[in-house]
Amino acid sequence: MSEPRTNWWAPIWPGLVVDPQGKHIRRLGMSVWLLLYLIVHARRATGIVMQRQRTIAAKMRMPLRTIQRWLSRLEEREYIEIVVKSQVLTIRIKRWKSLYPRHK
């Protein structure tokens, strides 16, 4: 997938950051940074990201093991679904809302 434009924006659910009970921050911890990365890099119509773990780690400047741990946490807590586990992961962000009505 190509690099995101530097002036591009990404949709974020208000409930992810505005949460009186703080359930998401407790569930996500530091893995919220990976979720934000995935949202920014997802295909707008589908919410799917296709990247290697090593690529994500390099772009985020994080250890590969940390990215693996965060992916597991996001999947276990049902924020993402890893559809294809191979060299290139296919990750679907759950509850994705397409920016294009025909792809709902």
| CATH number where 29 lies | 1.10.10.10
Q: Give me the domain span that covers residue 53.
A: 14-103
* Residue 49 lies inside a defined structural domain of this protein: yes
| Closest to 82 (Cα-Cα) out of 69, 94, 98 | 94
Interval 81-95: pLDDT, tens:
998 888 899 999 998
Higher per-residue pLDDT: 15 or 62? 62
53 part of a folded domain: yes
The pLDDT score that the predictor gives to residue 102 is 62
Evaluate whether residue 7 is within a structural domain.
Answer: no
Give domain status of residue 62, yes or no. Answer: yes
- Sign for the CA dihedral angle at 44, 46, 41, 25 comes to positive
Q: What pLDDT band is residue 101 in, cutting at 50, 70 and 90? A: low
pTM above 0.75, yes or no: yes
**Does residue 62 register a pLDDT over 80?**
yes
| Number of structural domains in the chain | 1
- Exposed e or buried b per residue across 60-75, where buried means at least 16 C-beta atoms within 10 angstroms of its C-beta: eebeeeebeebbebbe
Least confident of 42-46, 53-57, 60-64: 42-46
